[in-house]
Amino acid sequence: MTNLKVDISKTLNFIEMKEIESLENEAVSNLQKLIDKTGKGNDFLGWVNLPSEITSEIIQDIKNEAEKIRKMAEVYVVVGIGGSYLGSRAVIEALNHNFSNQLNEKDRSHPVVLFAGNNISEDYLSELLEILDKKDYAMTVISKSGTTTEPAIAFRILKNHIEKKYGKAEAVKRIIAVTDKARGALKQLATDEGYKTYDIPDDIGGRFSVLTPVGLLPIAVAGFDIAKLVEGAKNMQKETTENKSIKNNPALLYAITRNILYRKNKTIEILANYQPSLMYLMEWWKQLYGESEGKENKGIIPVSVNFTADLHSMGQYIQEGLRNIFETVISVEQSKKKLTIPVDAGNLDQLNFLSGKRLQEVNKMAELGTMLAHIDGGVPNINISIPILNEESIGELIYFFEIACGISGYILQVNPFDQPGVEAYKKNMFALLGKPGFEKQTEEIKKRL
């Protein structure tokens, strides 16, 4: 039994329970297609059984490698884009001290984790190099092909930097490649140079890869218990693949409810949270659902907000804007630390009525008050609750969103496991940069510009 709960009661002013029940058989059938690997995109369903297939030996090997990195590096750079970095960053940020990068080195037991290869900003990479000039570092480059533009550019620059800083022999010890097990430019380079490597399974796409070495190695380097993370995912795998009814399967309930709302022209899903450390989990969720469902002129648009901060910006639109939205809120029931509001003799801010209350209670009342306001404003609310931000709960949440995404994509009748539209911008970019073989496109695109 998992700790994650889904509550759809605050959608029932907008949809009826019988509508959800009418889609249950179809959703269960779609779940079975994921389990049996008989649906669209079935070549990329290795993630479905992944948690239960991760052995203690695999976990220990990754832990051992992470310990080597921690001993040699003050900074650890993860080079990747999309699923090659968002999953690990989501988990690390969710579990980390909110000000981890600002802590003194003596107060940290692990390297500062920094990310590269997720953009082509000259300032960003230049400023990263300024940091790496002054710090001992190691890095992991993550790419199935080794030719994805953003990480390939970053790795070329960082490889040059680390070899100049330490010499080639020492640099080899500080570089790990996570890539295809048999082919591709990065695999060839890793073999030629002698890098330690981990495999990206052929049947797992990037946005579903957080529980492979793609995510587990950086998370372990950051000091978190990957065994507990996997255990949480394994528990959710059991709950969502063995239970075939909406009463006992939160993924079925979530997938069905969001699709019923979509059919009623609620075309935008806003994922909200009240913990700043969940911001990158929101980014991971946006990639997972946007890249999986946005096809054939279909799909719910995934948007995220961080409350209460965004209540002072996006809150106005959510309350009174176009009524094509619904809201899914991730609730964290307990905080890890305790802080109460003091009495102030002057009470100029008129907040003495809060004296003695914990911030967690105030935050929770803000959450409940916002939910009621948004419902009154015509926005259905789905609630996903976890007890606390720890490895097990985050593991549950990751697998929950993954399996629900597969079910939901099949309800939409798209292939949730490809991303044909991702290549469009690259073709234009290569043409504009004069890549060999793109001469005709270069001529055509320059006329358009």
User: Catalytic site residues?
Assistant: 291, 312, 426
Q: Could you give phi then psi for residue 381, rounded to 5 degrees?
A: -125, 130
Mapped to the 3 state alphabet, what secondary structure does 325-377 carry? Answer: EEEEEEEECCCCCCCECCCCCCCCCCCHHHCCCEHHHHHHHHHHHHHHHHHHC
Burial of 353 from C-beta contacts in 10 A (0-12 / 13-18 / 19+): exposed
Q: Could you give phi then psi for residue 262, rounded to 5 degrees?
A: -60, -40
Structure tokens at 364: 């929770």
Residue 88 amino acid letter: S
**CA-based end-to-end distance of the chain:** 57
d(CA 50, CA 241): 12
DSSP 120: -
CA atoms within 13 A on the CB side of 303: 15
153 in Cβ contact with 120 (< 8 Å): yes
Torsion of CA 78, 82, 83, 88, to 10 degrees: 40
CA atoms within 13 A on the CB side of 249: 23
What are the DSSP calls for 17-37, one per residue?
HHHHHHTHHHHHHHHHHHHHT
Structure tokens at 4: 């994650």
Q: Could you tell me which residues come within 8 angstroms of residue 437 by beta carbon, excluding any fewer than 6 positions away? A: none
DSSP 13: T
d(CA 111, CA 66): 10
Question: Where in 117-194 does DSSP place strands (E)?
Answer: 137-142, 175-179
d(CA 140, CA 415): 31
d(CA 341, CA 166): 50
Peptide bond into 147 cis (omega under 30): no
DSSP 398: H
